[in-house]
Structure 1
C-alpha cells in the first residue's frame, strides 16, 4: 500500500488574539473567538476544498493537508489571517501517514516553542527551528544556557528588550516602536545587556549565545 504524505499544520495558540470586535466592551470574548474560528473555517473550505482534514477550536488546532494538494502554505496562512482579521502563528512539517501521530506531537512542540519565544506571527518550518528545537531538549547544555541570562533577572526591561529585538529580526526601529521608547534607548539597553551578561547582542557570536539562552530559559524556568 502506498502511503501519501500529509503536512501537519497546527495554528494559533493564543486563545483570544487582538481583534477589532474586542473594542466593543459589550461583546463576550468567547463569542468573538467563535466568530474568528467560523471565518477561518469558511476561508479554509474555499481555499483547500475537501482535501484538508481539520480539528480546530478557539484555542487553535491542527490541519492535515495531503501533499498532492497544490497548496502554498505561506499563502494559506496569510489568507486565513486576513479572513480571521488576526495574525496567525503556525508550524508545519511533512510526514508519511504512518508517522502522523509522532509528527503532530513534534509540530505542536515547535508551536509551543515559537509561542514561548514570542516570535512574530507567521509560518515556521522545522528547518527554520532545528537548532532551537535541539536546545529545548533536557540536559546539562540546556541547563547551563538557561543560566546565562540570570544577570538580567533584576532588569526586566533589559530582558524584554532582548526578547523583542530578537523576535523582530534585530530591527531597532521596530523594537523601539513596540516598546514605546526611542531607538537610542534600545541601543543603550543592548549595551547594558552586553555589560551584564558578557555577550554582545550586536555581535554575531554574542547574539548566538543570547538567543540560545532565551530558548533554554523558557524551558528551564517553566
Structure 2
C-alpha cells in the first residue's frame, strides 16, 4: 500500500541525517552491545558505517519512491557472511540490526512535527515490515556461511587425523600441537557387529544404510568423548572408528556397555598403547587387525587387547608360506556350511555339543560336517597340528579377502 504524501515528506526530511545516524550508531548506540567495543576501528568506521548508510537510504527510498524496485539486501548478505567468517557471534549481529532500527525510529520521531503523527505511524509500519525481511536474510546467510566454514574445518581436521593415524603425515610438533597430542597415548578401534538376523543378500541388518552407520558412529564418538572426559581424535573410515586417547584419560569400566546402548548394536573395541605419538600409526593398524582376528576367532563382542588373541594374531601374519596355508581350505571354499562349522567348532574349543547348539544342529551333524571337511582338505581339527593349521588358514583367508569381517559392518 503506497505511503501518503505526508509520510514521504517526513522521510525526505530525514535524508540529510544519514551520515549523522551512521556515526551515532557506530560510535554511541552500538557501544552498549557486548563484544562490540572490541571490534577494530576500521570495521566500525568503514564497513559497519557503510552498511548503516546503505540500510537507512534503502528504507528512505522505499518510503519516498512510489514504486521502489526489489532487492537491496545483497550488501547485508555479504556483510553477514563476512561477520560469520570473522567469528562475530550471531546474537551480536542481530542485536546490532535491531538496535539500528530503534535508532532510526528515534530519528523519525525527533524529526516529526506536531500533526504528523499519522505519517510517523505509516513509516514505523514500513520500518517493521522491512526489518523482518532484513533479519531473515542476515540470519540465513550467516548460518549458511558458518555451516560451510565448520564443514570445511571438520574436513581439514579429518584429513589431518587420517594422515596421522595412517602414517602418511609426519607427526611433527606443529601437527601434534594442532591435534592437541603430546606423549604416550592409547589407540582404540571400534566396530559395530551385524545383528544376528541380518540378511547379507539384501544388506538388511540393523547396521543397514551408510547414513545409519555414520549416525551411530557419531554416537560412539560422543560416548568416547564423555567417557574419557575430553574431545578425542576420532576417525570413521571403512566401517571402523579409530580414536586416540591422551595419556592420563582413564576409560570408565562400563565403556563397552555404554557404546552398545548408544548405537543399539553390539560393539567390539580393541585397545593398543602407543609409547609416543610416532607409534600411533602402528598402534592404529594393530588395533584394527585385532578386531579382525577377534571376530575371525569367534570371540564375543567386547573389549579386546593383543594378549587376548596373541597366538591367532601371530598365525595370521603374512609370510612366505601364507598363501599355501590359506589354500588348504580351497577345497571347501564353495561349502560355507563346512567353513562355518569349522570356525564355530574352533571358537568353542572343539566342544561338539556347544557347537551344535550355537548352529542349531544335532551333534552328529557337526561330526559329519567335520569329517567331510577332513576328507576334502586333509585337515583334522581334532589334532593340535590340524587345529593350528585350520585357525591359521581361516585367519589368512579373512585377511586376503580384504578384512571382510570388519568392513561388513560398514
Q: TM-score, normalised by structure 2?
A: 0.44
Secondary structure of the structure 2 residue equivalent to 1:140:
coil
Higher-strand-fraction structure: 1
Distance 1:151 1:18, change over 3 A: closer
Distance 1:148 1:34, change over 3 A: closer
* 1:183 Cα deviation from its structure 2 partner: 2.6
Note the alpha carbon deviations across 1:82-141, whole angstroms, 9 max, x for none. 332211122221012231122212322333444555653222222233433333433332
Indicate if the aligned counterparts of 2:316 and 2:392 stay in contact, CA closer than 8 A.
no
Note the alpha carbon deviations across 1:64-84, whole angstroms, 9 max, x for none. 1234223257x3223212332
Q: Of the two structures, which has the highest relative contact order with CA contacts closer than 8 Å and spacing of 6 or more?
A: 1
> Does residue 88 of structure 1 match 2:267?
yes
Out of 6, 18, 24, which is 2:195 matched to? 18
Show the counterpart of 2:381.
201
Higher-helix-fraction structure: 2
* 1:144 Cα deviation from its structure 2 partner: 2.1
> Does residue 43 of structure 1 match 2:43?
no
* 1:31 Cα deviation from its structure 2 partner: 4.9
Supply the distance in 2 between the matched residues of 1:57 and 1:221 (Cα, whole angstroms): 18
Greater Rg over alpha carbons, structure: 2
- Structure 2: segments with no counterpart, 5+ residues: 1-181, 198-203, 403-410
Range that drifts further, 206-215 or 112-121: 112-121
Note the alpha carbon deviations across 1:23-56, whole angstroms, 9 max, x for none. x99xx83454344334423433432221643334
> Does residue 143 of structure 1 match 2:323?
yes
Q: Number of matched residues?
A: 213
Secondary structure of the structure 1 residue equivalent to 2:389:
helix
Supply the distance in 2 between the matched residues of 1:140 and 1:125 (Cα, whole angstroms): 27
> Does residue 165 of structure 1 match 2:345?
yes
Supply the distance in 2 between the matched residues of 1:105 and 1:150 (Cα, whole angstroms): 28
Indicate if the aligned counterparts of 1:135 and 1:212 stay in contact, CA closer than 8 A.
yes
Show the counterpart of 2:183.
4
- Structure 1: segments with no counterpart, 5+ residues: none
